[in-house]
Amino acid sequence: MPSIVISCAGDNELARKINDYLMDKITPSHDTIYISLSEDELEIVLEKLGVSKDEIRKLLHDFIKSNSELADYYSITEFNDNVFVVGIPKSLDEMTVNCEICGYIASSEDDLNIHKRTHGLIFIL
């Protein structure tokens, strides 16, 4: 059975709100057997609920637009044929940090600080 996944990028509260919204919009009598919530992800079995991927996409956009706290910051990104990610988009520059001296790409500010110290040690030796 084809299903789609809606990931909320680590935001469990957002996933719960989307789950509640979709339950109100697409499931008669809140039958939860074909919509499952697990931490920050929802899985929806489209065929059993009688909805299409396009309808889910539209409902997600409607949900984001209907909530003023989310409308200005959040977006929906689609991956492959079955994954929607709802979250705040970030540029690559915002997600990575790099060394101004050599261009090394660090995974965090702490790693970058440790790396930069090695440049200082090289100059001392």
Architecture of domain 3-87: 2-Layer Sandwich (3.30)
pLDDT at 91: 66
Those residues with Cβ within 8 angstroms of residue 124's Cβ, 6 or more apart along the chain or in another chain: none
Those residues with Cβ within 8 angstroms of residue 82's Cβ, 6 or more apart along the chain or in another chain: 2, 3, 4, 5, 53
More confident site: 40 or 121: 40
* % of the chain beyond a pLDDT of 90: 2
**Rg of the chain over all Cα atoms, to the nearest angstrom:** 21
Q: Cβ(4)–Cβ(53) under 8 Å?
A: yes
* pTM recorded for the entire structure: 0.66
For residue 125, pLDDT beyond 50? no
Those residues with Cβ within 8 angstroms of residue 15's Cβ, 6 or more apart along the chain or in another chain: 6, 8, 37, 39, 40, 41, 42
The domain segmentation of the chain, as residue ranges, is 3-87, 92-124
